[in-house]
Amino acid sequence: MKRYIFSLIIGISSLCCTAAQSSEELKYPVVLVHGLFGFDNLLGVDYFYRVPSVIQQEGGDVYVAEVSSAHNSELRGEQLLEQVALVRAITGKAKVNLIGHSQGAQTIRYVASVKPQWVASVTSIGGVNWGSRFADVVRGSVDTGSFSEQFLASLANGLAGLIDLLSGKPSAPKDALEALSALTTEGSVAFNQSFPEGIPSTYCGHSAALADNGVYYFSWSGSKAWTNVFDPADNALALFSQVFTEPNDGLVSACSSHLGQVIGTNFKMNHLDQVNQTIGIHHLFETDPLTLYRQHIRRLKGLNL
């Protein structure tokens, strides 16, 4: 695991000489963390498409973590803890700014709860902080222990294995059922009870940016599943969105994404637009997703983070 993130660090750091840099630097490095069935780089395409270069242009030192593409959030959190320790050792910085998408939000919250002294800020993007209705429907569609459950799990684990293989982490542990259960409402509520920092007291509520553990918490998300006719992923997200009865991004409701200071949830972005996928295709008349990252790095700099 360490050699994987170290190779990424070298690759990303080499970009510093070609990108226009901000005159003001971010105090602590940024670590980006992907969600379920995510990856760092797959066949030359970044999960956080063009996001690292934007962060660098704003004076941020950025690293892309490698965690299992399909497993529960606690195990992914333990993987991330090891990599955060490595980033701290390499940079000499006491803390990091964690940014997680989808299940990555739970993953980074775990680290901030277990080692708050290592974390300056947590930013949840389309985070499954109160569970996903889509995950509820999928989990509820098959009986526990049934042949159907095992068959679907084998397919999902096969997909996770392929993603891990192509992204250079073939030995990463995987358990799609554990991942799915973590993202259900029941699983997320249980996670919140163990790791409550930043969670509003009520569903769809807000909380202060600075939590009792000394870590700043932020969140944003989209609320439109279909955003561009040229994006091949939009049709699937539009179909998935039909299981919701409230504004959502195709996989997570806007209210479920709330954590800490809510920057916004009404952006015309779906779950993939939030990480500038597919390869930068997004709503033509909405803020460019990269602009949100640029603004957020400036926000963190304003807080001396």
**Which positions are annotated as active-site residues?**
102, 249, 271
Q: Going by C-beta distance under 8 Å and a sequence separation of 6 or more, which residues neighbour residue 86?
A: 2, 5, 6
Among 293, 232, 234, 230, smallest CA distance to 269 is for: 234
Q: Which long-range contacts (CB under 8 A, 24 or more apart) does 149-154 make?
A: 149/177, 153/177
Burial of 201 (0-12, 13-18, 19+ CB in 10 A): exposed
Sign of CA dihedral 71, 77, 78, 79: positive
- What is the rounded CA–CA span in Å between residue 81 and residue 75? 10
Contact 101, 127 (CB under 8 A): yes
Sign of CA dihedral 218, 189, 223, 157: positive
Structure tokens at 134: 């889509």
161: helix, strand or coil: helix
- What is the rounded CA–CA span in Å between residue 100 and residue 195? 15
Contact 247, 270 (CB under 8 A): no
User: Pseudo-torsion of CA 141, 159, 190, 104, nearest 10°?
Assistant: -140
- What is the rounded CA–CA span in Å between residue 81 and residue 160? 21
DSSP 8-state assignment for residue 256: G
Helix (H) or strand (E) holding 42: strand 41-42
